Structure 1
């Protein structure tokens, strides 16, 4: 199969970095899902202190970055840097990180949390659309065609949103919520960065996102955390197969230093520092509900559970929502139209069909375990034979569900038209 244009461009950009680096400089190679707005700040700090070291930073979406490491880390990245807890759990399970004490027993571990994040939704500051007060508000017909989010298969931060709902509400109720909310979706963006960009460009009114992507545009966007609040640590780790351990340790220590933690509060970054003393120092600048949550025991994000079903959750979202969004929105529109005039057992059955996940929680974990390393691209062409069979079976179940809902709606519509 021919490589995608995106992969070719990434390779050319990375090669350009290497070819244009000073010949005398050592290279520290960083693989990250973070945007340049964050990485450039730390690169500038580091290169100022280490003028003989050249940082080469490559940005990839989370799944592509994991895949880069798991295929052998052929380009010898020294550091992996991401907000995705599943990425670190999967890489940790596959012994991708250096020994815990690689930097010395009295220094930082090879993998460390450096920032905290949580998820919610944003709107433009000048928007006339009412700001949702809670997750359930997003289900109201008022928001039909007004909401956007990214695909979790293309965005680690959106995967956090999906799993936040699944962990808090449970597998069945979490998927029921997501499937009902699909009635109000305007679009699914290709990357998480597309959500704040789309809000700013007035492509839609409400965007499901993670705090830092919205708060980096705080002068134009208003962000609200979803409750219950689940704070997730973003992490940085030194890879076992990297070639510049000494400078990797120095970079990790800089990110964890007081200077590095304070830098998280820069406007273009807008992250919550992991260092408690820095949070206390700048508590007046942190969101009120984050300050309140930090005083309590916040809900833990179970990366063990979410990593076990990582592949399946992304595939299920694409099969049940991404691929069928237009059809599903049409069925929901017909359902809501009928609900305004009648109430019946048959209509309740339609809602059940439209909100029922096609795989059990255990079945999702088993299916993920059958795939290579628990993750793969959701594109059918890139799957192995067993994975294709799983996807085709699930796709058939989704199609049967929607066809049954359509038939049930037709019967009710004909009866009410008489």
Structure 2
């Protein structure tokens, strides 16, 4: 009897121990990791599956937040998010300044500090680039063939008057990925020459705001012949059957995405595992997946890239090319929109009148003088990026920036009105 009791007792203990072990394994397997991102489901699902296969004891929980909402959420919910992983350079810079990020292990980072002048990794090591997107041109080849026009190869080709109304152009102030577009279009040229080109492109553009439509849809539908957009948007549309081509101009605007661990990350080990995974060879090669089509930051993984895949590290770097920082790009974008975009209709009418005046054989010298005045920037490069303007755009309050935008717009309008008066005098004269 005693022996039977001992056997039953030992069996119960064994079951209890097994249950505790199983419970421990289940608890370990379900240890969560909270990642905040704005990436689409197609990309997240690929990374989630690969990460959990390599680290089965972690369970990924995704918190989707667009860049505009992410900062306020992180401030209001400290100690809730482990990893911030998204394309938003400005947010990472602000979080770093506010002391809300941890220093990453430098051994995880295999990318250079910068790519063709675009800063990839934080010099203090608080955030690191995980992928790069390139901003170039998506075109409808059949439309160019039908119009017997040369397909654009460079930003300057977009100034062709034959493309009037045919360029889908994202507004930098409204479309996040376009922040570095104007900077890229002007780089490699003298300030005056670049602005003249940009003015001519403005005459051809249809400006697109965030949420109104996709640039690729504008081109695929025939509403535009060319659109300025990120490579992965075009790759996605082409993969779905759109008859489009994508072209990287000689000067590409690169937009890196980053990963960072929050200072109050509640699941430290899981956060480190995920950050390291995004920067590892396995994580980098996932970017080649057809559903993702991003550019890795690790130069070594391009040896495994699919045929025809663009390699930014192999692209020629323009001589003396300098990429403006985010503050300078914001100044440039505001000046561009206040001076050109806001007065696009007036500018277009002025250039129509210039053509008409030439047709009527009016004073050729005076016509050329008016045209050159319209094409030239009325602020020098040095004056635009003055210390005063930089301070205004660094300020927390938007009032100074708004005042500058209003001032620049009024000055531009006065200049255009003076040109309109001079043209009118030419047209009505003998």
- Coarse TM-score class (shorter-chain normalised): 0.7 to 0.9
Offset at residue 181 of structure 1 (A): 0.7
Q: Contact conserved, 2:188 with 2:320, CA < 8 A, in 1?
A: no
Q: For residue 217 of structure 1, what is the aligned residue in structure 2?
A: 237
Distance 1:373 1:31 in 2: 25
Q: What is the SS of the residue equivalent to 1:285?
A: coil
Q: Give the alignment partner of residue 301 of structure 2, picking from 263, 267, 278.
A: 278
In structure 2, the residue matched to 1:397 is 411
Residues in 2 aligned to 1:164 and 1:374: alpha-carbon distance in whole angstroms = 25
**CA offsets 1:344-393 (integer angstroms, 9 cap, x no match):** 232223323333334443444335433364577xxxxxx32x33432322
Q: Structure 2 stretches of 5 or more lacking a match?
A: 1-29, 110-124
Q: Once the 2 structures are TM-superposed, how far is the Cα of residue 323 of structure 1 from its aligned partner?
A: 2.2
Instruction: Give the RMSD, CA atoms, in angstroms.
Output: 3.4
Cα drift, residue 126 of structure 1: 4.0
Alignment partner, residue 112 of structure 1:
128
| Equivalent residues of 1:232, 1:300 under 8 A apart | no
What SS does the aligned partner of 2:179 have?
helix
Secondary structure of the corresponding residue to residue 403 of structure 2? helix
Q: CA deviation at 1:162?
A: 1.1
Matches within 5 A, 1:261-340: 261-282=284-305, 284-287=307-310, 290=311, 294=314, 302=322, 305-339=324-358
Number of the residue aligned with 1:13: none
* 1:312–1:367 Cα contact (<8 Å) kept: no
List per-residue Cα deviations over 1:203-241 (Å, max 9, x = no partner). Answer: 222101222221222242201111245655443333445
C-alpha distance in structure 2 between counterparts of 1:184 and 1:98, whole Å: 44
Check the 8 A contact 2:174/2:209 in 1, yes or no.
Answer: no
Equivalent residue for 2:61, pick from 44, 49, 55: 55
SS of the residue corresponding to residue 207 of structure 2 reads: strand
1:38 equivalent in alignment to 2:22? no
The alpha-carbon distance between structure 1 residues 362 and 412, as it changes in their structure 2 partners (threshold 3 A), is same
> Helix, strand or coil for the counterpart of 1:357?
coil
Q: Distance in 2 between matches of 1:29 and 1:273?
A: 20
Normalising to structure 1: TM-score of the pair? 0.76
Residue in 2 that maps onto 1:183: 203
Tell me the equivalent position of 1:19: none
Q: Is the 8 A contact 2:175 2:209 kept in 1?
A: no
Q: Secondary structure at the match of 1:390?
A: helix
Query: Which sections of structure 1, spanning at least 5 residues, go unmatched?
Result: 1-23, 377-382
Q: 2:390 aligns with which of 366, 369, 380?
A: 369
User: Once the 2 structures are TM-superposed, how far is the Cα of residue 400 of structure 1 from its aligned partner?
Assistant: 0.8
Question: 1:59, CA displacement in angstroms?
Answer: 4.2
Larger radius of gyration: 2
Counterparts of residues 13-412 of structure 1 (less than 5 Å): 26-32=32-38, 34-47=39-52, 49-50=55-56, 52-61=58-67, 64=68, 68-69=70-71, 73-76=75-78, 77-83=81-87, 85=89, 88-89=92-93, 92=96, 94-95=97-98, 98-101=101-104, 104=105, 106-108=107-109, 110-127=126-143, 128-129=146-147, 130=149, 131-190=151-210, 194-218=214-238, 219-220=241-242, 221-229=244-252, 233-240=256-263, 242-282=265-305, 284-287=307-310, 290=311, 294=314, 302=322, 305-339=324-358, 342=361, 344-365=364-385, 366-371=387-392, 373=394, 383-384=398-399, 386-412=400-426
Q: Shift of the alpha carbon at 1:78?
A: 4.0
1:314 is displaced (CA, Å) by: 2.8
How far off its partner does 1:401 sit?
1.7
Matches of 1:43 and 1:295, distance apart in 2: 31
Distance 2:75 2:329 in 1: 21
C-alpha contact 1:150 1:191 (8 A) present in aligned 2: no
Q: Is this contact kept in 2: 1:368–1:375, CA < 8 A?
A: no
How far the C-alpha of 1:26 sits from its partner, in A, is: 3.2
Q: How many residues align?
A: 374
Aligned match of 2:428 in 407, 414, 417? 414
What is the Cα deviation at residue 45 of structure 1? 3.3
- TM-score, scaled to structure 2: 0.74
- CA separation of 1:354 and 1:91: change in aligned 2, threshold 3 A: farther
Q: Which residue of 2 aligns with 1:380?
A: none
1:10 matched residue in structure 2 = none
Per the alignment, residue 15 of structure 1 pairs with none
Which residue does 1:12 correspond to in 2? none
CA 1:74 to 1:193, structure 2 compared with 1: closer, same or farther past 3 Å? farther
Deviation per CA, 1:168-188, whole angstroms, max 9, x where unpaired? 324443333222211111332
Change (3 A) 1:165 1:75: farther
Kept after mapping to 2: 8 A contact 1:155/1:192 = no
